[in-house]
A and B are shown apart, each in its own frame.
Chain A
Amino acid sequence: MWKFLHPYAKPERAYQLCQTLQPWFWSLAAVCLVTGSIWGLLFAPQDYQQGDSFRIIYIHVPSAILSMSTYVAMAVAAVVGLVWQWRTAFMAMIAMAPVGAVMTFIALVTGAAWGKPMWGAWWVWDARLTSELILLFLYMGVIALYGAFEDKQQAGKAAGVMALVGVVNVPIIHYSVEWWNTLHQGATISKFDTPSIAPEMLWPLLINLAGFAFFIAAVTVVRLRSEILRRDVHRPWVQALAEQRENRRAV
């Protein structure tokens, strides 16, 4: 069933795929982010309770949701790397880690900036905020562990196990607002129910969510390309690629 994926285990094919996808991801990200942000920040109506302050939702919610999705994607790459022993899977894992860490950081910072005017506090040690902070530490742990090994295949295995184990935190983040009583409010859109947000506010949010996703994909693809080149720098195909580029510049 998954046979069509097998050629991409080869770094060369993965590199070519990245090259094809990259312009699509960048342009879709730009279109979605510009539309969603302008619509959300300028044209969506004010909230009945929070007025204009609620507009930070257009940054906070996409970054928070995608910090978790990126973690899951990273863990899937780790499993593929560990079980099928694909070098490219570990490269994809480590390409995603810093992007997800930055998303988590954005979610925490925008959340603090939203919490101060609305709740009255920058930070509260409630279950949602604490588990999201732990997610940031997990990302940092994966990056640090990967960096600690000289042999990158070993590094991938160690960091992969850590990424896999940390997945347990993702459902905790999602359900924290239901399992415990928290200051953070419950889920607005990520639930099996009608979203509790007016449609004219929801659309820009969904567009921005897609925009953030494409942005993450684009940055991941760029990072994956450079990771593949760095790891395969002595392989003939990379040298051929470099030569080709050299020749083009010479002409």
Chain B
Amino acid sequence: MNPRRKKRLTLFLSIAVLIGGAVSLMLYALTDSIDLFYTPSEIIEGKDGRKPQVGQRLRIGGMVVPGSVSRDSETLAVTFDLIDVGPKVSVQYTGILPDLFREGQGIVATGTLLDSRTIKAQEVLAKHDEEYMPPELAEKMKGIKHVKPDNAGN
């Protein structure tokens, strides 16, 4: 490689490395704002020593605690608890839940903090994992019995 090419190569590679470094420092500093949601334990115990304020608009993401879903028989109101590894946070919501909503499913809810462990949600989104498998295999591996909605009554 002749010296002029070598010089240009080092120049462009160092530009790329410098910009890469700058961007990674920026992203590291912005970690809190890039995270899409708080986990339930971050809401109760605080994230980096700061707890979310009551009345703050935020997103929460966690697993629906089995057995915690209670629906109002007259309206579309529903309450359920979310959990990650620590304490539970309960969510109130009025509206139609996504199809994937079920006990044990990951959920992301947007809403306001009513008190330290209750959220009134305006939007509930379902998160699914990166595993794809046919129903028979899922039944064998995870013990999940998948019932199609139109067969559920039979």
Contacts and interface: CB of A to CB of B under 8 A. Distances in A.
Interface of A: 45-51, 54, 57, 79, 82-84, 117-121, 124-127, 161, 164-165, 167-168, 172, 179-183, 185-188, 196-198, 200-201
Contacts of A187: 130
Interface stretch (B7-15, B48-56, B63-71, B75-83): B7-15
A172 B144 CA distance: 34
Given A46-B134, A48-B142, A120-B125, 9 more contacts: A51-B148, A119-B128, A161-B15, A164-B15, A167-B16, A168-B20, A172-B23, A186-B130, A187-B130
A249 B52 CA distance: 76
B99 A47 contact: no
Contacts of A50: 100, 128, 132
Given A50-B100, A82-B12, A119-B125, A188 B36 contact: no
B126 interface: yes
A49 B139 CA distance: 11
12 contacts: A45-B134, A49-B128, A57-B132, A79-B9, A120-B124, A179-B27, A179-B31, A181-B36, A183-B125, A187-B130, A197-B131, A198-B137
A182 B15 CA distance: 30
A200 B134 contact: yes
Contacts of A54: 132
Nearest to A48: B138
A120 B126 CA distance: 7
Contact of A127 (B19, B36, B98, B148): B36
Contacts of B128: 49-50, 118-119, 185
A112 to B, nearest CB: 13
Interface of B: 5, 8-9, 12, 15-16, 19-20, 23-24, 27, 31, 34-37, 39, 61, 97-100, 108, 123-135, 137-139, 142, 144, 146, 148
A49 B146 contact: yes
A124 B129 contact: no
B16 A197 contact: no
Given A47-B132, A48-B133, A127-B34, A83 B125 contact: no
Contacts of A120: 97-98, 123-126
Nearest to B132: A197
B132 A84 contact: no
Given A48-B144, A51-B148, A168-B20, A121 B123 contact: yes
A48 B139 CA distance: 8
B137 A48 contact: yes
Contacts of A46: 134-135
Contacts of B135: 45-48
B84 to A, nearest CB: 10
Contacts of A124: 36, 108, 125
A69 B126 CA distance: 29
A82 B16 CA distance: 13
Nearest to A160: B12
B35 A181 contact: yes
Most buried by A among B16, B20, B148: B16
Nearest to B142: A48
A24 B128 CA distance: 39
Contacts of B142: 48
Contacts of A121: 123, 125
The 9 lowest CB-CB distance pairs between A and B, nearest first, are A48-B138, A45-B134, A120-B98, A198-B133, A185-B130, A197-B132, A126-B36, A196-B131, A48-B135
Contact of B134 (A83, A119, A165, A198): A198
B55 to A, nearest CB: 22
A83 B15 CA distance: 13
